[in-house]
Amino acid sequence: ASDTDEAHAYDVECSGVGYCNEDGQCECREGVFEGPACEKLACPTSLDGTICSGHGQCVTSGWAASHWDGRNLLRPHVEYPHWDAEKISGCLCDRGFSGFNCSRVDCPRGDVPETRGQKNEIVRLECGASKGTFTLTYKGSITEPIPYD
């Protein structure tokens, strides 16, 4: 970086992470960068080249900031308007998978049964509506619509 908002030299062939072939097209470092000028960080793949190992969705940081699923993306109503919002991609893993490329199968999780002195948690919800339905979301699971009364 040489100055604020000036992290890279302006006119670098294939963004310095690929080479220009005889047809004038960039050939990017495979599996790492993509785009006509190799200007985008590609989504991680499995060893056979499958994006997100076939167990997730490739999303940009800009997309991830503006979406919420209550499980992986936990901060609703966030904006990421910066220059790299559509330049950096990552995997949003399906339920049951994790890791940078969604290749890790999640093991079951839960409380240690030997813990003593526990009580079941009770959550009380009060609905102040006069008509319609509502849903509840917990760890990415959403209920069917529940009538207000």
For the CA atoms of 85, 141, 143, 134, the dihedral, rounded to the nearest 10 degrees, stands at -30
Helix (H) or strand (E) holding 61: helix 61-66
Count CB-CB contacts under 10 A for residue 7: 10
Residue 6: half-sphere exposure toward Cβ, Cα within 13 Å: 6
Question: CA–CA separation, 19 vs 53, rounded Å?
Answer: 27
- Taking the C-alpha atoms of residue 27 and residue 100, their distance in angstroms, rounded to an integer, is 24
pTM of the model: 0.67
Q: Is the predicted pLDDT of residue 98 greater than 90, yes or no?
A: yes
Share of the chain above pLDDT 90, in %: 37
Reported as a single tens digit per residue, the pLDDT across 111-145 is 777 888 877 778 787 777 788 888 887 776 788 99
